[in-house]
Structure formats: structure tokens, C-alpha cells
Structure 1
Amino acid sequence: MKKTGSRGRLSMEENIEEEEESSRFDIATIQAKEEEIERKKMEVREKVQLQLGRAEEEAKRLTQIWEELEVLVDPMRKEVGFIRKRIDMANKELKPLGQSCQKKEKEYKEALEAFNEKNKEKAQLVTTLMELLTESERLRMKKLEELSKNVESKP
């Protein structure tokens, strides 16, 4: 009978170890995903910065062209107006991209905070479970000792 109890405890301990290993794996997986998210976020930021730089360079170039055209007679006015409109359109397209980056960053921080809170809750639950299992084993051993004494004391 003691062997069965031992096996039950070993099985319980093995399950707990497996759960802990699974938790460590899950945490590592989540951390890897967080790192991937951070890397992708940085890539998007770099792309946005690159596009902003290109737009600024394009704006400078076009301003220079505009100044040169001002010196000339009016034949190029339509083309310059067209290019200015394209610059304005590019600037309008860049603004939502920047806002989208900020929104995604905020969402990421909120998701990370929620994850950390749930992780704390899980750790507390695991601690409570371990305490309950320990107390249960202690009570069962006490009862077994009492039963054993009762068996020994009776003729």
C-alpha cells in the first residue's frame, strides 16, 4: 500500500515538474515572440524613418527646382504644381503610418502588461496548489499514523 502512495506522489511530482517545464517553455516561447515583435517594430520604425528621410530629401529637391523655376518664365508652372501636390499627398500618407506605429506600440505595451499580470496570477495559483498538496499529504500521513496505532493497540 505504501508503494502505491509513493507512486502517486511521484506521479504528482512528475506532473508538477512537467507543468513547470511546460511553463518555462511557454515563457521562453512568449519571450521569443516578444523579441520578434520588438524586432519587427524596429524594422517598421526604420522603414518609416527611411521614407520620412526620402520625403524630406524630395521636398528639398523640389523646393530647389521650384526656386529655379521662379526665375524662369511660366511654362513649367503646371508641372511644379503637380509635384507639390504629390509631395503633399506623400506627407499625408506618412502621417497615418507614424500614428499607426504609435498605436501598435501602445497595444504591445498593454498586451505585455496583461501577460505579466496573468503570469503572476498563475504563479500564485501554483503556490497555492503546492501548499494544498503539502497540507493534504501531512493530514493523510497523520491519519495513517493514527490508524496504524489503532491497529497495533488492539489485541
Structure 2
Amino acid sequence: MLFGEILYRETGLVVVPDREPEMEKPGEMESGIREQQMQIVCVRSSSIGDEEEWESSRSSALSLFKEKEEEIERKKVEVRDKVFSMLGRVEQESKRLAFIRQELEVMADPTRREVETIRKRVDKLNRQLKPLGKSCLKKEKEYKMCLEAYNEKSSEKASLVTRLVELVGESERLRMKKLEELSKTIETLY
């Protein structure tokens, strides 16, 4: 027989709930109990029984119902206690896992923070070196161009100085020659 299924055929009292109670959540359990209470149908047969039998069957049905209700309440409390104990264990285990994770990180690389700091500094210096390298290449190109121009102008100057020296030398010779001629002419006049 299912829970709550009580048939009193002699007295005509019939209590029949729809289903057997299941372990449900606390809110659902209370609504299930209310449904069962509403589903109790008491039918009294007019042909059978007297008042005393009906009263005794009614009280036995109520006591049976109360026992089942108390059993449901006990199971509800047990389930709640189990859930809270499981939640406590889960919380402890999650704390342990967090601690173990930290320990593993420390064991994996004890100098990790220092390495990260140095890597960041190296990256920063690389970012600073890029524009400096480009600037250096640009300046080297400019220097080479200036050096070529300087060498070109220096060689041009050297050739001009050589030509100037030649011209000055030739001019002096010509002037000396003229002076000598003038000097001869003056000597011939006296």
C-alpha cells in the first residue's frame, strides 16, 4: 500500500492521496503536505457503521497521517543537515585548493616576480631603443652625406689652392720679368 492509502470499507472512510511523498525541497515539501491534507476525502456510508466506529477509524487515520507527517519533517531536517554539512565541507575543500594553488605557484618558480619585473624593464628599454636606433641610423646617413660633401669640398679647395699657388707663382714671374725689363729700360736711359 502507498503512504496515506487507507481504506476503511466497513466504515466508509476513505483517505487516498494522489502520490507517495518524495524527498523534496523544504518549500515544495510543505506545499505537498498541504495538498495531501486537501486530498483527504472522508466519505461516510449511510448504510454502514455507527458513530463510534466512524470516530475510531477517523482518529486512527489522523494518527497515521500525523506519524507520516512527522516522518516527513524528520527527513526534511536530516536532508537540510546533510546539505549544510556538505556545504561546509565544500567550503573547506575550496579553501584547501586555493592554498594548494598558491603553494604550487610558489614552487613552480620562486623568482617569478623578479623575472617578471626584469622582463618588463627589458621590454621598456626595447621600446626606448627602437626610436633611438632609427635616429642613430638617420644621423649616420646624414654624417656620411656630410662627410662626402666635406671631402668633396676639401678636394675642390685643394685643387683651387694648387691652382692659386700656380697663378700666384706665374704672376710673380711675370711681374719679375716686367720689373727686370723696366729695370733694363731705366738703366739704358741713364
Shared fold per TM-score greater than 0.5: no
**Higher helix residue share:** 1
Greater relative CO, 1 or 2 (CA 8 Å, sep 6+): 1
Report the structure number with the largest CA radius of gyration: 2
TM-score range with shorter-chain normalisation?
Answer: 0.3 to 0.5
TM-score for both structures, normalised by structure 1: 0.41
TM-score for both structures, normalised by structure 2: 0.34
